[in-house]
Amino acid sequence: MLVRVSLRCLKLADTLTSIGKAGLYSSMASMERNHNFFFRQLFDHESSTYTYLLGDTSNKEAVLIDPVYEHAERDANLIKELGFKLVYAMNTHMHADHITGTGKLKSLLPGTKSVIGKGSGALADIYLKDGDVVRFGSHQLWAAATPGHTNGCFTYISHEQCMAFTGDALLIRGCGRTDFQEGSSETLYKSVHDRIFTLPDHFILYPAHDYKGLTSTSVGEEKKYNPRLTKPLDEFVKIMEGLNLPYPKKIDESLPANRVCGVF
């Protein structure tokens, strides 16, 4: 169900679109959480992709961020074991390095709706615009448009839990590449500085990938230690232009599949 609400998120005063109603619990001891908030970080070794399960243990509604096709059964089984109802399977953007599990999860867990940014170019049940809010149980994720890696990139922010899911826009001591798929170094720099670095320093950030075994970072850390995004814009652009990264090995398979919600 689509519901419109008006609310204020800390320093952000916007009229936001609330999508449905859904839940979160946390297994993290490092941060204080609401008693009914669930959080679980999952991993795909082949693409180094993180998938995030958030749920409300009171009404048992949940969302899953950036699922991977090969792990759809794993994720569905975990959700069933925990007694959750998956309301939304969400992507931070249209991925080029793996096939999304959203379409497969819709068949494994009937009633699940797929969610992605409106500018992604991918099929979905619900398209997000900047400022929309995804509701699950008593919790919510604020959708902030953070293009630059792709046109449809979004960061999902929980002001209540002091955490954000940054996709490929901001990685741990890095950022997503900008040399394909509508990439723009200037746009990415602005997105990160305007939409992520303006969050409080203590907010914990969870990226879509990490290739060194790190699991999370914080706004304060990245503002101080990110070797790319701490530079002035012109230096950042030169760094991104000189990365000389290899062609993504799964892009020719992943993009066509992800345009149709991973159902191919």
Domains recognised in the chain with CATH numbers? 37-243 (3.60.15.10)
Among 197, 218, 261, 245, smallest CA distance to 67 is for 261
pTM for the model stands at 0.89
Question: Cβ distance 134 to 90 under 8 Å?
Answer: yes
Q: Can you tell me the distance from the alpha carbon of 109 to that of 85, in angstroms, rounded to the nearest whole number? A: 8
Tokens of residue 44, six digits: 């795909």
Q: How far apart are CA 3 and CA 90, in angstroms?
A: 18
The percentage of residues in the chain with a pLDDT greater than 70, rounded to a whole number, is 87
pLDDT band at 34 (very low <50, low <70, confident <90, very high): low
Q: What is the average pLDDT across 149-169?
A: 98
- Give the burial class of 131: count Cβ atoms within 10 A of its Cβ; 0-12 exposed, 13-18 middle, 19 or more buried: middle
Given a cut of 90, whether residue 14 has pLDDT beyond it is: no
Write b or e for each residue in 178-187: b if 16 or more Cβ atoms lie within 10 A of its Cβ, otherwise e: beebbbbbeb
Q: What is the mean pLDDT of the chain?
A: 89
Residue 120 has pLDDT above 70, yes or no: yes
CB burial of residue 148 (10 Å; 0-12, 13-18, 19+) = buried
Average pLDDT over residues 13-18: 38
Looking at residue 249, its pLDDT comes to 87
Percent of the chain having pLDDT more than 90? 83
Q: pLDDT digit string (tens) for 55-66?
A: 999 999 999 999
Is residue 258 within 8 Å of 122, Cβ to Cβ? yes
**Spatial separation of the C-alpha atoms in residues 27 and 186, rounded to whole Å:** 37
- The answer to whether 62 and 23 have CB atoms below 8 angstroms apart is yes
Over 50: is that where the pLDDT of 24 sits? no
Q: Would you state the pLDDT for residue 33? A: 53
pLDDT band of 13, cuts 50, 70, 90: very low
pLDDT tens digit sequence for 79-101:
999 999 999 999 999 999 999 99
pLDDT band at 240 (very low <50, low <70, confident <90, very high): very high
What is the average per-residue pLDDT within 101-109? Answer: 97
Q: Could you give the CA distance from residue 206 to residue 236 in angstroms, rounded to a whole number?
A: 22
Higher-pLDDT residue of 86, 24? 86
**Tokens 């953007």 appear where?**
93
- What values do phi and psi take at 104, rounded to 5? -65, -40
Per DSSP, helices labelled H in the chain are 72-81, 102-108, 185-191, 219-225, 233-241, 251-258
Q: Could you tell me if 104 and 119 are in contact, meaning their C-beta atoms sit under 8 angstroms apart?
A: no
pLDDT at 227: 98
- Label residue 25 by pLDDT band (50, 70, 90): very low
Question: Taking residues 43-68, what's their average pLDDT?
Answer: 98
Best CA proximity match to 208, nearest among 43, 77, 38, 72? 43
Identify the pLDDT of residue 264.
64
Lowest mean pLDDT among 26-40, 126-140, 180-194, 250-264: 26-40
DSSP code, position 246: P
Q: Give the span between the Cα atoms of 239 and 236, in whole angstroms.
A: 5
Give the pLDDT band of residue 263 (cuts 50, 70, 90).
confident
Q: What is the mean pLDDT of residues 131-159?
A: 98
Q: What is the mean pLDDT of residues 2-6?
A: 33
